C-alpha cells in the first residue's frame, strides 16, 4: 500500500509484476488495463485465492488472476451460469416446474427439476429458448440476502427453503438475470451474451439429494461454449467417444460384464482377468523396486474402527454393514484404517522409516443406481493404495519419490499429458500452522524440484492435510483425476491410531502419514485405458496377442505346432482353424483387436516361418518363428505403446 496516497492499491499479477489502481477498481477493469482481448475473454477472477465476480471492487492490496474459458475454474463459472440460463428457460416454458440445484460437471452441467418427465421435443424447445435468452445479453447481478429475505423470496419452492435452512446466517446470496433469480454462491459471468453455443444433451431421473426416500426429479444435462466451433468439435468428440465406450469394448473383447443379480459389481471374464493381472504385475514390479512392502487387510472390520478413523462421520451413508457374533461390522470403504493397524502392530525406530506399505485393496461403497456407469462408477473396486510413514525431515524426499513414480506409471500406460493441482489448507483444519507450513512446503518443493507445472487451489485441501492431485488427459482431450498424494496429521495422531516411532533422542514422535494412490481405482483406470486406446491395447497388456491362421486345412497341423511354440514362449496365441477364407479370418482377427495375425501355408511350413501382419493391416512379411517370438518378447519387455 502506498501510504502517501491511500486511494490507490497495488495489484500483483500472475507473473509477479505489480500495477497500481484506484481503490474500488473492479476485476474486469484490471483485465481491461492488461488487454482488451483478455477483458473480452474474462469470465471471473481469483483474488488472493478467492473466486470473485468480475464486477467485484478491489479495496486493498491483492494478487489477482483473470480467469477465462481456457482455465478449468473459468469453465466451471461459465457452465454454472449456463445452468441458471437452463433453469430460466425451463421456467418460462414450464412455469409449474420447481428448480432445485444445477452444478457444473465433467460432461457440462445439469439442473434438477421437480416436474413430470420431459420429452425430446421439450428438450429441443428448452435449447431454443436458452439461445434466445443468451442473445438478449441479460446482465447478471449478485444479490446479498439475509436468511429471512431468502426464505421469503423462495417460499414457494420447498427445495430452496430446505437449502436455505442449512446455510449459515450471513453467507446467503442469489444471482439475478432478467426476471429469473436463483440461490447461488457464485461467481457468474457478467452477462448471458458470452454463451454462444448450447446443446441440451439428455434427461434422466435423479433423487433429491441422492436419497431414494426423496422425490425423483428430472435432471436435464446440457453443455455450452463461448464459440460455435468449440461445440461442433465437442459433438464430434462425443461421437468418437461412443465408438470408444469401454462398456462396448468390454463386451467385444469379452473382458467383463454386469448383471442384475449384482448391480454395480463388475463380473470379470478370463480376458479381463488377463488384462487386470498384467496391470497388477507391472504395478507390483515398480513398487518392489521402490521399496514398498505389499500388505492385505480384511474386507470386513469392526464398526468401532470406523468411528476411530472418522470415516463413520463422513462415509456412513455409503457403507455396507453386517453382524458377526452379534458384533456390528462394516465392509471397508477405504483401506487406510486397516493399513494403520498393520503399521501400529509393531514398534518402530527412526531407523525403520520411511515405511512404505502398499495394498491392492478391494473396497465397497454404496452408490445410487442412477450414477452407476460401467467401470467408471461401481460399488466394488480395487484401490492401488499405499501409505508411507516417515519423519517430517523425510517427507520432502518421499513426496518427490511418489511424484516421479506417478509420472513413470502414467507414461508406461500411454498417458503423457498430466495436469497437477496443489490444494492447500482449508479454514476448518486440524494441526498447527507450523505443521501445515512444512507439509505444504514439502509438496510444493517436490513439484518445483522436478520442474512440474501445477495449479494452486488455495483452501481446497482436506481438513487433515494438503494434497496433490493428478489428472491424466486421454486421446480425446478428456481429463480424468486418478492419482493423489495427501499428507495426514489426523489418523496417525495419539487420539486416533497413535502411529509413532522412537527417535534418536529415545523419545516417541508422531509419524507423518502420506496417503497415495496412482491408478486410483483399478476398474476405473482400466475403463479409461480401454477408451484411450479404443481397445487396441499394447502387446504387453493385450489378452489377444496373436492369431494363427492356416491358409488351408492341409497346414492346420503346422499352424497348431506354431501356436504351441508361441504359447510355450509365453505369448497369448490362438488358432483359427475354421473352414473360412484367409481374408475373412484376417479381417475378423483385426476386428477382434489381435495385435498380430500370422498366416501359415506351404512356404512358411517349409521355412519354419510365419507371414506376419499387424492389427493395422501392415504386412511385415515372412519371419522365422524364432525371430517373430523374439520380436514379440522384446516388445512386451519394453512395454512399448504401439497404436497398431
Annotated catalytic residue, options 218, 311, 336, 533:
336
Closest listed residue to residue 361, CA positions, set 147, 517, 195: 517
DSSP bridge pairs for 68:
42
Residue 459 Ramachandran class (φ > 0 left, ψ -120 to 50 alpha, else beta): left
DSSP secondary structure, 173-242, as one string = EEEEETTEEEE------SBGGG--EEEEEEEEEEEGGG-TTSPEEEEEEEEEESSHHHHHHHHHHHHHHH
Residue 385 among the catalytic residues = yes
Residue 386 Ramachandran class (φ > 0 left, ψ -120 to 50 alpha, else beta): beta
Going through 28-89 in order, the beta strands assigned E by DSSP cover 42-47, 50-52, 62-68
The helix-helix angle for 556-568 and 625-637 (nearest 10°) equals 30
For 578, other C-beta atoms within 10 Å of its C-beta total 11
Residue 80 among the catalytic residues = no
Residue 160 among the catalytic residues = no
Helix (H) or strand (E) holding 342: helix 336-343
CB 548 within 8 A of CB 566: yes
Annotated catalytic residue, options 385, 474, 488, 576:
385
The span from the first CA to the last CA of the chain, in angstroms, equals 61
CB 457 within 8 A of CB 492: no
What is the grid cell recorded at 201? 444433451
Annotated catalytic residue, options 467, 471, 544, 547:
467
Residue 467 among the catalytic residues = yes
Annotated catalytic residue, options 160, 219, 515, 536:
515
What is the grid cell recorded at 575? 488358432
Annotated catalytic residue, options 88, 383, 545, 597:
383
- Going by the DSSP 8-state scheme, the letter that residue 318 receives in this structure is G
CB 401 within 8 A of CB 290: yes
Backbone angles phi, psi at 470, to 5 degrees: -115, 130
Residue 515 among the catalytic residues = yes
Please state, in angstroms and rounded to a whole number, the distance separating the CA atoms of residues 354 and 134: 57
Instruction: Evaluate the omega torsion of the peptide bond into residue 523 and state whether it is cis, within 30 degrees of 0.
Output: no
Please state, in angstroms and rounded to a whole number, the distance separating the CA atoms of residues 88 and 177: 9
Residue 336 among the catalytic residues = yes
Annotated catalytic residue, options 387, 425, 524, 547:
387
Please state, in angstroms and rounded to a whole number, the distance separating the CA atoms of residues 547 and 556: 13
Please state, in angstroms and rounded to a whole number, the distance separating the CA atoms of residues 581 and 584: 5
Closest listed residue to residue 464, CA positions, set 293, 302, 291, 313: 313
Active site residues: 336, 365, 383, 385, 387, 467, 515
Amino acid at each position: 500500500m502506498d501510504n502517501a496516497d491511500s486511494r490507490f492499491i497495488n495489484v500483483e499479477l500472475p507473473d509477479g509484476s505489480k500495477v497500481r489502481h484506484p481503490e474500488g477498481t473492479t476485476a474486469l477493469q484490471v483485465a481491461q488495463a492488461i488487454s482488451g482481448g483478455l477483458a473480452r475473454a474474462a469470465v471471473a477472477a481469483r483474488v488472493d485465492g478467492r473466486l470473485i465476480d468480475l464486477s467485484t471492487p478491489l479495496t486493498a492490496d491483492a494478487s489477482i488472476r483473470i480467469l477465462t474459458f481456457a482455465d478449468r475454474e473459468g469453465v466451471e463459472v461459465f457452465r454454472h451460469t449456463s445452468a441458471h440460463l437452463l433453469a430460466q428457460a425451463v421456467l418460462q416454458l414450464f412455469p409449474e416446474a420447481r428448480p432445485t440445484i444445477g452444478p457444473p460437471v465433467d460432461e457440462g452441467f445439469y439442473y434438477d427439476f421437480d416436474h413430470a418427465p420431459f420429452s425430446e421435443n421439450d428438450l429441443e424447445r428448452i435449447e431454443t429458448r436458452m439461445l434466445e435468452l443468451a442473445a438478449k445479453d441479460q446482465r447478471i447481478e449478485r444479490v446479498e440476502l439475509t436468511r429471512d429475505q431468502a426464505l421469503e423470496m423462495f417460499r414457494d419452492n420447498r427445495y430452496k427453503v430446505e437449502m436455505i435452512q442449512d446455510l449459515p446466517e450471513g453467507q446467503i446470496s442469489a444471482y439475478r438475470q432478467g426476471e429469473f433469480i436463483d440461490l447461488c454462491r457464485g461467481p457468474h459471468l457478467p452477462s448471458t451474451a458470452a454463451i454462444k453455443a448450447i446443446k441440451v444433451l439428455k434427461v434422466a431421473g435423479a433423487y433429491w439429494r441422492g436419497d431414494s426416500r426423496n422425490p425423483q426429479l428430472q435432471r436435464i444435462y446440457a453443455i455450452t461454449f463461448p464459440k460455435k466451433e468449440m461445440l461442433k468439435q465437442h459433438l464430434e468428440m462425443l461421437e468418437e467417444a461412443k465408438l470408444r465406450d469401454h462398456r462396448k469394448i468390454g463386451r467385444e473383447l469379452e473382458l467383463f460384464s454386469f448383471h442384475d443379480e449384482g448391480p454395480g459389481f463388475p463380473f470379470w471374464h478370463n480376458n479381463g482377468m488377463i488384462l487386470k493381472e498384467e496391470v497388477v504385475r507391472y504395478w507390483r514390479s515398480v513398487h518392489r523396486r521402490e521399496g514398498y512392502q505389499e500388505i492385505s487387510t480384511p474386507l470386513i472390520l469392526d464398526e468401532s474402527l470406523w468411528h476411530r478413523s472418522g470415516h463413520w462421520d463422513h462415509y456412513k451413508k455409503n457403507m455396507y454393514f453386517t453382524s458377526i457374533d452379534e458384533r456390528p461390522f462394516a465392509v471397508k470403504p477405504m483401506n487406510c484404517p486397516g493399513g494403520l493397524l498393520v503399521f501400529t502392530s509393531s514398534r518402530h525406530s527412526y531407523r525403520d522409516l520411511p515405511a512404505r506399505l502398499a495394498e491392492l485393496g478391494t473396497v465397497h461403497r454404496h452408490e445410487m443406481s442412477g450414477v452407476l456407469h460401467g467401470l467408471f462408477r461401481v460399488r466394488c473396486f480395487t484401490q492401488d493404495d499405499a501409505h508411507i510413514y516417515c519423519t517430517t525431515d523425510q517427507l520432502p524426499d518421499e513426496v518427490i519419490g511418489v511424484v516421479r513414480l506417478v509420472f513413470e506409471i502414467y507414461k508406461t500406460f500411454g498417458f503423457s499429458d498430466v495436469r497437477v493441482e496443489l490444494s492447500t489448507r482449508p479454514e476448518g483444519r486440524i494441526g498447527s500452522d507450523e505443521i501445515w507450513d512444512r507439509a505444504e512446503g514439502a509438496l510444493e518443493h517436490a513439484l518445483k524440484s522436478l520442474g512440474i507445472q501445477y495449479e494452486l487451489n488455495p483452501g481446497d485441501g482436506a481438513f487433515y492435510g494438503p494434497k496433490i492431485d493428478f489428472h491424466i488427459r486421454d486421446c480425446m482431450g478428456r481429463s480424468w483425476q486418478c492419482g493423489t498424494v495427501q499428507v495426514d496429521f489426523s489418523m496417525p495422531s495419539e487420539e486416533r491410531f497413535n502411529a509413532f516411532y522412537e527417535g534418536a533422542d529415545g523419545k516417541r514422535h508422531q509419524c507423518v502419514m502420506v496417503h497415495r494412490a496412482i491408478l486410483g481405482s483399478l476398474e476405473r483406470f482400466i475403463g479409461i485405458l480401454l477408451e484411450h486406446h479404443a481397445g487396441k491395447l499394447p502387446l504387453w497388456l493385450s489378452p489377444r496377442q496373436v492369431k494363427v491362421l492356416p491358409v488351408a486345412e492341409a497346414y492346420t497341423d503346422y499352424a497348431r505346432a506354431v501356436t504351441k511354440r508361441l504359447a510355450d514362449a509365453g505369448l497369448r496365441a490362438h488358432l483359427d482353424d475354421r473352414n473360412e477364407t484367409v481374408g475373412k479370418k484376417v479381417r475378423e482377427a483385426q476386428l477382434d483387436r489381435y495385435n498380430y495375425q500370422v498366416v501359415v501355408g506351404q512356404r512358411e511350413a517349409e521355412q519354419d516361418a510365419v507371414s506376419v501382419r499387424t492389427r493395422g493391416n501392415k504386412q511385415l512379411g515372412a519371419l522365422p518363428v524364432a525371430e517373430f517370438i523374439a520380436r514379440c518378447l522384446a516388445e512386451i519387455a519394453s512395454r512399448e505403446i504401439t497404436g497398431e
